[in-house]
């Protein structure tokens, strides 16, 4: 099932004995840390609704919609609008990815509102300017805005309220809200400030005080241009309704004003003035798609993820491999457990790096093979229980869907494409790909008593971003996730109209056909690492949702980073400070390069569905500003 909006068009057993014995012998003296049930945040208990996202004010926006009678989709749209207005590591010109459980059909639907490369965005174009990859910032990193369209389509298909109602909190904030320190601190970073100063409309928004200074924490921060853009969307809806048009037609009118009307014209003017490529034809041709997500079953639980235009299938591939191990007997965060998780993630991410891309562009991704349980068992043969494999590369899933691999030659030369390259200052892999956990994306979780469930990971247009003319809309930097050479990934080479393979990956799980768990996280390439471990924390180790959000995870960097110069750091491993010295030593013997950190678990937001009592359990990470409310 795929629905394509223009606005309204539709087309819509265990591991082998030898391997387990090897793990058992090697790790016989590596003990696991003692788990504690104490959490820094309490579980959120609700009966009618739950709303969780990256900012307290935005969670309040969702609560306001619930209290006005909206459903979980309406509340999610309000939270999405609010976090974009607050620049919670994204803004209005970014992209929206969602999974929605529809209680009327019992189905999970995927929302694909990721922008596309504009006309002229070709490998030859970027190479002629000295780039090894599209740049990480500036007008040439921009894809078409996806979030406005994604929000409107979600609301039209699954919501109950008007656009005016769900945008009301964001419009109030655009008129002025007391800004938080996390945002103002980002504006003070020298690199960010220097870039912002080079883009006049960005400077006007982000550095409004005398001396080109950012607002102070607690100062009322207003965005008149953005407020004007949001008013235009509401005006288009209002005018259509006044003319006797239906709710859907009125939402279509707002959509058209953004992508085909005066907002589009000003966005294009402002972008091209700075040397960007986005044109009116790019905005007009772009579509939101409603899709059938991919799914795998792990110990009786159906886990849903978005398909190959994001990294979501990575988690499903990892689960297919991990169900062949007795993880519980290894012990949480024991050396055996950490090594197993790391090696499985190596294999799944290597497949991502070579085989994932936009499914609406040829060649067709071999997803049937990649998600085959037989392929998972074949991949496990690559794991060495006594050593990290720094050269773990992609496998060949084609035989597992009855086909011959057309890219066998590229696959054999793939390791030679692992290099540090790009335009700009030289940098080491370990320094370049070190993420800051609160940055990169936000997440939205909502559920209601009618049974609607929404899991969203919106992103793009984070600070520093180009503001497009007088729209107040920041542009996404997602083009940097493309490659320019088919030898690196024949499915993800930049082309006009194509979506980059992004990292954004909400999750939803059903048990016995009903919602069991809804979950998402910030963090770029770390997202499916964190979500995999969060899920296992609950399913294998019996944690409640808040314990699972806060529990210490590991982070691997042995994949091709999806940003900037696409580096890789084999064997690099972040451990939580709670991991005992004897476990660290055992891992060092295996060849891992360990960094010890205080926070390694988020920010994860999630909802667990308590079928016994008919209630919600909400979890919100103790890292960052993520916050939830329930009733």
User: What token pair was written down for 600?
Assistant: 């390694």
| Helix 163-174 × helix 224-242 angle, to 10° | 160
Q: CA 37 from chain center: how many Å? A: 28
User: What token pair was written down for 115?
Assistant: 């922008």
Rounded Cα distance, 19 and 24, in Å:
9
Rounded Cα distance, 82 and 172, in Å:
9
Residue pair 39/550 in contact by the 8 Å Cβ criterion: yes
The arithmetic mean of pLDDT across residues 587-607, rounded, is 93
**What count of other Cβ atoms lies within 10 Å of the Cβ of residue 557?**
24
Residues near 532 by beta carbon (within 8 Å), at least 6 away in sequence: 315, 318, 319, 341, 345
Helix (H, G, I), strand (E, B) or coil at 569: coil
Tokens 């990956």 found at:
505
| Helix 163-174 × helix 56-67 angle, to 10° | 150
**DSSP strands (E only) in 167-237:** 177-178, 220-221
Pairing assessment for the beta strands 514-521 and 604-610 based on DSSP bridges? antiparallel
At residue 554, the pLDDT reads: 96
At residue 112, the pLDDT reads: 98
At residue 63, the pLDDT reads: 98
- pLDDT tens string 447-505: 999 999 999 999 999 999 999 999 999 999 999 999 999 999 999 999 999 999 999 99
Helix (H, G, I), strand (E, B) or coil at 272: helix
Q: Kindly tell me if the per-residue pLDDT of 32 is higher than 60.
A: no
Core vs surface per residue 513-535: b (16+ CB within 10 A) or e: eebbbbbbbbbbbbbbbbbbbbb
- pLDDT tens string 256-265: 999 999 999 9
Query: Across the strands, what pairs with 445?
Result: 52, 455
Rounded Cα distance, 365 and 357, in Å:
7
Q: Is the dihedral of CA 227, 230, 236, 238 positive or negative?
A: negative
Confidence of residue 19 (pLDDT cuts 50, 70, 90): low
Confidence of residue 22 (pLDDT cuts 50, 70, 90): low
Residue pair 456/444 in contact by the 8 Å Cβ criterion: yes
At residue 523, the pLDDT reads: 85
End-to-end CA distance of the chain: 34
- pLDDT tens string 79-91: 999 999 999 889 9
Q: How far is CA 421 from CA 252, 368, 503, 564, 568, in A?
A: 44, 33, 21, 10, 11
3-state secondary structure 389-403: CCCCCCCCCHHHHCC
Residue pair 65/161 in contact by the 8 Å Cβ criterion: yes
Q: Of all residues in the chain, what percent carry a pLDDT higher than 90?
A: 86
Q: What angle do CA 477, 478, 482 make, to 5 degrees?
A: 130
Least confident of 31-45, 505-519, 615-629: 31-45
Residues near 485 by beta carbon (within 8 Å), at least 6 away in sequence: 123, 417, 493
Query: For residue 613, is it left (φ>0), alpha (ψ between -120 and 50) or beta?
Result: alpha
Mean pLDDT score of the chain, rounded to an integer? 91
User: What token pair was written down for 185?
Assistant: 């601190």
Q: Kindly tell me if the per-residue pLDDT of 420 is higher than 70.
A: no
Q: Kindly tell me if the per-residue pLDDT of 432 is higher than 90.
A: no
Q: How far is CA 192 from CA 195, 203, 214, 498, in A?
A: 5, 11, 11, 28
| Helix 224-242 × helix 262-273 angle, to 10° | 150
Taking Cα atoms as reference points, which of 473, 466, 471 lies closest to residue 203? 466
Taking Cα atoms as reference points, which of 212, 94, 191, 155 lies closest to residue 460? 94
Helix (H, G, I), strand (E, B) or coil at 191: helix
At residue 21, the pLDDT reads: 47
- pLDDT tens string 245-282: 999 999 999 999 999 999 999 999 999 999 999 999 99
Q: Kindly tell me if the per-residue pLDDT of 429 is higher than 60.
A: no
At residue 6, the pLDDT reads: 54
- pLDDT tens string 143-200: 999 999 999 999 999 999 999 999 999 999 999 999 999 999 999 999 999 999 999 9
DSSP H helical ranges for 540-605: 545-550, 581-589
At residue 15, the pLDDT reads: 52
Helix (H, G, I), strand (E, B) or coil at 296: strand
At residue 623, the pLDDT reads: 82
DSSP 280-343: HHHHHH--EEEEPPEEEEETTEEEEE--TTSSTHHHHHHHHHHTTS-HHHH-TT-HHHHHHHHH
DSSP one-letter code for 371: T
Rounded Cα distance, 556 and 530, in Å:
10
- pLDDT tens string 218-252: 999 999 999 999 999 999 999 999 999 999 999 99
At residue 14, the pLDDT reads: 46
Alpha-carbon Rg for the chain in angstroms: 23
Taking Cα atoms as reference points, which of 358, 365, 527, 518 lies closest to residue 442? 527
Confidence of residue 425 (pLDDT cuts 50, 70, 90): very low
Taking Cα atoms as reference points, which of 609, 631, 628 lies closest to residue 51? 628
- Name the phi and psi angles at 561, rounded to 5: -55, 140
Tokens 């049974």 found at:
451
More confident residue, 623 or 289: 289
- pLDDT tens string 102-115: 999 999 999 999 99
């Amino acid at each position: 099932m795929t629905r394509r909006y223009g606005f309204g068009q539709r087309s819509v057993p265990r591991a082998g004995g030898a391997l387990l014995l090897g793990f058992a012998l090697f790790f016989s003296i590596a003990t696991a840390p003692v788990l504690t049930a104490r959490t820094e945040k309490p579980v959120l208990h609700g009966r009618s609704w739950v709303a969780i996202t990256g900012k307290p004010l935005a969670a309040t926006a969702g609560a306001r919609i619930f209290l006005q009678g909206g459903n979980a989709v309406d509340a999610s749209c309000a939270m999405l609008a609010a976090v974009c207005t607050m620049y919670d590591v994204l803004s209005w010109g970014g992209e929206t990815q969602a999974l929605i459980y529809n209680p009327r059909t019992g189905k999970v639907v995927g929302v694909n509102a990721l922008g596309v490369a504009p006309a002229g965005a070709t490998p030859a174009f970027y190479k002629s300017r000295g780039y090894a990859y599209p740049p990480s910032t500036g007008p040439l990193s921009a894809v078409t805005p996806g979030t406005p369209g994604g929000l409107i389509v979600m609301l039209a298909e699954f919501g109950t309220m008007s656009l005016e109602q769900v945008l009301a909190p964001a419009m109030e904030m655009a008129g002025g809200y007391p800004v938080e320190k996390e945002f103002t601190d980002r504006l003070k970073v020298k690199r960010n400030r220097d870039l912002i100063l080079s883009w006049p409309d960005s400077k006007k928004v982000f550095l409004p005080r005398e001396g080109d200074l950012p607002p102070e924490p607690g100062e009322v921060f207003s965005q008149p241009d953005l407020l004007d853009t949001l008013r235009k969307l509401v005006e288009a809806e209002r005018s259509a309704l006044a003319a006797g048009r239906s709710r859907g037609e009125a939402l279509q009118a707002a959509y058209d004003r953004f992508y085909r009307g005066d907002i589009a014209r000003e966005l294009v003017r402002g972008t091209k003035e700075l040397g960007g490529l986005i044109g009116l034809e790019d905005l007009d041709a772009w579509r939101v798609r409603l899709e059938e997500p991919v799914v795998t079953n792990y110990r009786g639980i159906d886990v849903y993820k978005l398909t190959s235009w994001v990294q979501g299938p990575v988690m499903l591939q990892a689960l297919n491999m991990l169900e062949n191990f007795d993880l519980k007997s290894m012990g949480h965060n024991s050396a055996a457990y950490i090594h197993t998780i790391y090696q499985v993630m190596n294999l799944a991410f290597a497949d991502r790096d070579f085989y994932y891309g936009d499914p609406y562009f040829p060649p067709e991704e071999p997803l049937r093979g990649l998600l085959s349980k037989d392929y998972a068992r074949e991949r496990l043969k690559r794991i060495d229980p006594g050593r990290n494999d720094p050269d773990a590369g992609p496998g060949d899933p084609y035989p597992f869907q009855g086909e011959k691999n057309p890219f066998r030659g590229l696959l054999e030369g793939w390791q030679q494409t692992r290099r540090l390259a790009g335009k700009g200052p030289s940098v080491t892999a370990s320094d370049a790909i070190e993420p800051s956990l609160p940055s990169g994306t936000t997440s939205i979780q909502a559920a209601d008593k009618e049974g609607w469930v929404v899991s969203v990971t919106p992103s793009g247009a984070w600070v520093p971003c180009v503001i497009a003319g007088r729209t107040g809309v920041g542009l996404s930097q997602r083009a940097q996730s493309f490659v320019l050479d088919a030898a690196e990934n024949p499915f993800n080479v930049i082309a006009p109209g194509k979506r980059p393979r992004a990292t954004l990956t909400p999750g939803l799980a059903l048990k016995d056909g009903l919602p069991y768990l809804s979950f998402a996280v910030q963090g770029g390439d770390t997202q499916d690492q964190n979500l995999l471990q969060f899920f296992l924390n609950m399913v294998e180790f019996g944690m409640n949702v808040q314990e699972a959000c806060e529990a210490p995870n590991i982070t691997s960097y042995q994949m091709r980073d999806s940003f900037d110069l696409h580096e890789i750091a084999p064997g690099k491993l972040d451990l939580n400070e709670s991991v005992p010295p004897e476990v660290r030593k055992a891992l060092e013997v295996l060849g891992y390069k360990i960094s010890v950190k205080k926070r390694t678990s988020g920010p994860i937001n999630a909802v667990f569905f308590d079928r016994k009592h008919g209630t919600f359990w909400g979890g919100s990470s103790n890292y960052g500003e993520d916050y939830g409310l329930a009733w």
